[in-house]
Structures are given as structure tokens and as C-alpha cells.
Amino acid sequence: MSESKEKLKTNHKHEETRGGFLNKRYQAFLWAAVAAVAIYLIVRNIGAFGNILLVALGFGAVVLIHEFGHFIVAKLSGVKVEAFSIGFPPTLAGILRTEQGRRISILPRFFPKEDESVHSRLSFTIGKKGRASETEYRIGVIPFGGFVKMLGQEDVGSVKTSDDPRSYANKPVSTRVAIIAAGVVFNIISAMLLFMMVFLIGIELPPAVVGSVVPDSPAARAGLNPGDEIIEIAGKSENLDFSNIQVAAALSDRGEEIRLKVQRGEDPMDFTLVAEQIQTLRGEMRLFGIMPPQSLTIAKVSDVHTLHERTGLLAGDRITSVNGRDVQTHWHMETIVANCLVPAATVIAERTTETGEVELVESQIPLNFSPTERKVESESDLCHIYSMVPRLRVEVVDTESGLQEGDIILAIGDVENPTYKEMREITTEYEKRELPIKVLRTDANGAEEVLFVTVVPKRRPGGERVLIGIIPVLDAGHPVVAKTISVEDGPAKLEIPRGAVITAVAGTAVSSFYDIIREVGRYPGQRVVIDYRINNQVAVNVALDVDRPEDFVSVKSTFAEFVPFDDLKRLYKADNPIEAVGMGYKKTVMFITQTYLTLRRLVGRDVSPKNLIGPVGILAASYTIVAERPFVYYVYFLGLISACIAVLNFLPLPPLDGGVVVLLFVEKVKGSALSERTQGIIAYVGLVLIGGFFLYITFNDIVRSFFS
């Protein structure tokens, strides 16, 4: 009877072993199938795969350096390190020095052996006999970092009791603090080395030059002008680039005055600015209102055909003149365009042919009038022409609301011929409700038709404004007055009713606001008569005293078509290795300080978590840099990430390194370690908090990437 039972047990054990083996074979087959599909996709998209691999290796290297810090100090401190892995499991291969030689194990998870000394069915030993090592060096399948496995330490930061004197748990607190802190120190050192390499090679960055100024911003009120070069920020003057301006504003305290020294002409000038919350595409951010400088060179775009079809320009073209006037800088060109006040601008650009010859190309680029140049708080903030505000025309549509580019807005809700201010007020009032809009639409044959469209105004995720998915401009092509407004220090308000059509200026017929501007400008210092009609009734006229015709027109022209320009760049390069070390050190300190102050502002609610970029945003930015820019920019980005990781990893929250150090200090003060259960609870609470925060910013990343 007992023999029968033993036989049954043996058979049952064999069945379990056979079942486990089949299960492992099934897993191996599944992984082989996945690998085959992956290889097929890689071959079909070899360029994209190369970029993705470079991103993965770069981030893996940053994390690996952090773990290498733990590894080196642990080894030097006499702690038994059981494994050091490049990449995360499943393990692709492992190597361990034994007395018989170097044992190499291939895919041990999928081809295990019951005999632990063999470790894997796909294992073999090479090399000469010698002294055995305690550390297995592994290569993981997932190349996003690595890990160190020490005797006596768990991943959550708690410790396991052990009689082994080489256990991590049996080392003095000071030694354990050194081991834990080493990862952060190595990240800081690696950031300095990366930045040192960058500045030895040289990198082109946007200089600390004012490209343009946001209307009604701190920079505008202080009197900064496009082209001003900032040579000192809060006492710092060495190797300033545009990021220093952004950081100074973003990390300033509420109401804090930041002193800038600006080079304008021959003499430097001093300015004091207080950063304010300004609405951007990524939400509200603390800014000065200084935009980065751009060059006159057309940037690369994905849709080259559309760019050439709409503007006559190609990537690499360099604009040299606008309407017959030579341009030297981008801000000079913008000033010329702003004062054109005509339907289109004639642009001359230099183009380098495939043979290397430079030729001049001419193109006509349509111009638009923006409805306002500043935050609209009153009617006087609207752009006008001798107190007359033109109607609104739809320039860009990003929804399927039924509106189309070129639609002229005749009415929104109950308001006929609304101004931009009225449109904003009405759309806010109708948030999440149907809003009727009356438009004048011109078809491909030039026939005009009045149509009614219904839209539902909504707030964009993370945004403050209620939108209907359009960008409007002023309808300068038709001399129809939406409204006349009173302007301080401007022309007297003309008594012209809404919807009136201007027919003549000083007896000369006009058919657009361009004509009105031209004709009124012929009579400086005189009184002119403006004729108009309303609802096709008999003509009426009003008188306009043209005291300062150039000051009585607040509209500014901008390119109607999107014209992408490269950023203005300046080479930042060290003259020698010693200078490169200094530049690398200062850049590392800047990014460490920036990360710390960002976290502090986050706790103080001065910075919204919606403005932070999470893993998805970082990976997307990395891929863009790798795919579109020279490799030195990716090295610079990895230096930035290394500095940020150093700060984030030292936050006092288990299971981060900083949290583990806090627990070690508690142990030092208390005289004994907290219980494993208590450490585990603390670690898991920290893990939940950190995980929840990262899920939140990852959600914001996805919203920005796919829904903004």
C-alpha cells in the first residue's frame, strides 16, 4: 500500500514537472513569436527603431549610472552584491564567475534547471578556473535602466535580518547612508560630465535676446523691445542663454523683483520685472512675457508641399527683404510687416539650389489684421481703424463645428456684427450650450451665401478660456463696420451705426479697409468726409479730423499663412577643458536648483502640476530631439534629466533614496531600526503617493499630446 502511494506521489511529481516544463515551453514559444513580430516591425521601420533604441539606451544609461553609484559604494563598503543588472527583467543573459570558470546563462527564466548550480538549461562555462565571485552580472530585455541586488535589502527600502556580516542590514547607518546617497551623487557627476562634453563640442542655443514682447506683459510695461540683449539676470552674467530668462521668471516668488541688465545700442540699461501668470498653450505659467528670438531662415516642416503652395517658400530659404525694404533680423522684419497695412506682402528670399548656387525667389504672402494685441478687458483694447472696428472673419478652424475658414461672422447669439470682446463674452455665457452663429460664406465660384451654424463652446482640458475652436481675424477685405469705439488719446468716436458699409473717403470710392487707410492717409492735418450706407438705404456721411493719421490706426499686419522660422542660435563652446568643467558645473547647478524650486513652488501652489511634463512627455521630447537634431542636443537633454533625477530621487519619500535616508536617520536617533512591517507600510504609502502623482502628470501628458 505504501509503495502504491509513493508511486502515485512520484507520478504526480513527474506530471507537475512535465506541466511546468510545458508551461515554460509555451512561454518560450510565445516570447519567440513576439520576438519574430518585433524583428519584422524593426526591419520595416529601421529608422524609427534606431531612434527609439537611442532614446531607450540614453535613459537606460542615466538610470544605470544611478545604480552603478550604489554598486560601487556597496562593493567598497564590503556589502555582498548578489546581482548587478543592465536593463530590467526578464534576464536575457547572465554571467557569474565560478571556481570552474565564467558561467553564462541564457534566458534563465524560460529554461530553468532544478539544479540551482546549473541555473539554466541554456548555460555553459567558459574560461579558466579561479576564485569564485559573489556578483552575477546580468543583461535585461528592457533597456530602460538597471538595478542592484544587495544581500539584506528589499526593493521597498526595508531590510532583512541576516547573520552574514556582509549583509546590508548589518552595516553601520553611516555606511548605508553612503550607499543609498551614492546613486544621487553619481547622477550629479554624470550631469556635470555630460554638460562638460556638450560645451567642449559646442552647442547652438537661443541667446538671451528678446525676440518679441507679449502685449500688456511685465516686459511690455517695463519697456523692453525686440532685439534687446539681456546681459545680466539677478547678478548673473556668464554664458546666459534664453533658458535663463525663462527659469528666472518661472521660479521667482510672487511679487519678487528680478533685475535685468539689457544691452540696447551702446549703453546698457537696467530694468526691474515682476513675473506674472500668463496663459500659454500649456496652461498658465509664470513669465515675463519675453518670447524667444527667431532667425530669418525658414524651418523644416513635415508638409513641404503645402508650405510652398501657400507661401512660395521652402525650408532653408532666408528672407532678405519685405516690400522692397531690406531686413537684417526677424524682429526688424516683423516691424516692417506690422506696418504694411496692405492685403499682401512681397517677400524676397535667398534659396540655395542643389548645385550650391544661391538664387533669389519672390513670393506674395497674404496679410491679416489681428482683432487685438493685448488682453481684452475693455473695448479700447480692440484694434481699430479711425475708431472703426471691422467684422470678424474665421481664419483657422480646429473643430468639426460646421464653421469654415473664410466665414465672416454676421451674428453670434442675438448680437449682430459682434466684436472680438463681445464674441468672447457670448461664448463664455453659452459654455456647454448650443450657440447659433450666422455667417457669410463664399463658395469656390465666388458666390456668397448666408448660413446658420450651431456650435457648443467648451473649455479645453487644463485651459481657462471657453472656446468654439476658431482663430478669428478682422475682415479688412470688406468696408463693413462692426462697431465704433472710444479710444483714449485717439480719434473721436465716429457716429457710424453697426453694420454700416463705408462707400467713399473724400469722394473717392473704397471697397475695403485697406482703401480707407490709404485714402485717409492722403489728408494729414485735414478734415475728410466719410460716406456710408446702412441696409442699402440712402448714403450718409460723417467728418473725420485727421490730426495724426498714423496714430489713429491701431491694427497691425501679420502673415496670414503660417511661416515657420528657425530659432535664432548662438554657439556656446568652451575654449578649453577647464572652462568646459566650469560651464558644466554651472549648468548642472542651474537645473538642480530649477528642479528643487519647481517642487517647492508646487507645494506652495505657485506652480500648477498641469505644467509639469511626465514620462510620456519626456519620451516624446527625447524622440523628437533624436530624430530632428544633432546628437549633442540629446547629450544636453540627458544631462538635464540626470540633474532632475538626482533631485527627485532624494525626495524624503520612501521608496525613493531620500526616503530611505530619512528612515536611516530615524534609526540612528532611535537606536534601532523600525520594524520590517512599519518600514513596509511607510514604503508602500510613499509608493502610492508617488505612483498617483506620476499617473496624474502622465494623464496630463496624454491630454496635451492627443487632445490639445
Write out pLDDT tens, residues 671-688. Answer: 888 887 888 888 888 888
Q: What percent of the chain has pLDDT over 70?
A: 88
Tens digit of each residue's pLDDT (9 = 90 or more) over 181-206: 999 999 999 999 999 999 999 999 99
Q: How many CA atoms does the CB half-sphere of 483 hold within 13 Å?
A: 20
- State the pLDDT at residue 74: 92
Contact between residue 274 and residue 290 where contact means Cβ atoms under 8 Å apart: no
Q: Is 460 or 22 the better-scoring residue by pLDDT?
A: 460
Q: Where in the sequence numbering do the catalytic residues fall?
A: 67
Contacts of 160 (CB under 8 A, 6+ apart): 152, 153, 154, 167, 169, 676
pLDDT bin (cut points 50, 70, 90) of residue 275 is very high
- Which of the residue ranges 35-49, 225-239, 525-539, 545-559 would you say has the lowest mean pLDDT? 35-49
Radius of gyration of the chain (CA): 34
Contact between residue 217 and residue 278 where contact means Cβ atoms under 8 Å apart: yes
- State the pLDDT at residue 462: 58
Residue 157 predicted with pLDDT over 70 = no
Separation of alpha carbons 14 and 426, rounded Å: 78
Interior angle at CA 322, CA 319 and CA 327, nearest 5: 60
Separation of alpha carbons 120 and 1, rounded Å: 38
- State the pLDDT at residue 552: 84
Tens digit of each residue's pLDDT (9 = 90 or more) over 591-642: 998 888 888 878 777 777 777 787 778 888 888 898 888 999 999 999 999 9
- Which of the residue ranges 30-44, 440-454, 574-588, 635-649 would you say has the lowest mean pLDDT? 30-44
Q: How many CA atoms does the CB half-sphere of 21 hold within 13 Å?
A: 10
Tracing cell 514537472 back to the chain, one arrives at 17
Phi, psi of 240 (to 5 degrees): -75, 135
Max Cα-Cα span within the chain: 126
Whole-prediction pTM value? 0.77
Sequence-ordered alpha helix ranges (H) in 223-267: 242-250
Tens digit of each residue's pLDDT (9 = 90 or more) over 410-425: 999 999 999 999 999 9
Q: Output b/e per residue, 212-233; b: 16+ Cβ within 10 A.
A: bbbebbbbbebebebbbebebb
pLDDT bin (cut points 50, 70, 90) of residue 463 is low
Contacts of 584 (CB under 8 A, 6+ apart): 191, 192, 193, 194, 195, 196, 197, 198, 199, 639
Q: Which of 56, 24, 149, 27 is nearest to 96 (CA)?
A: 149
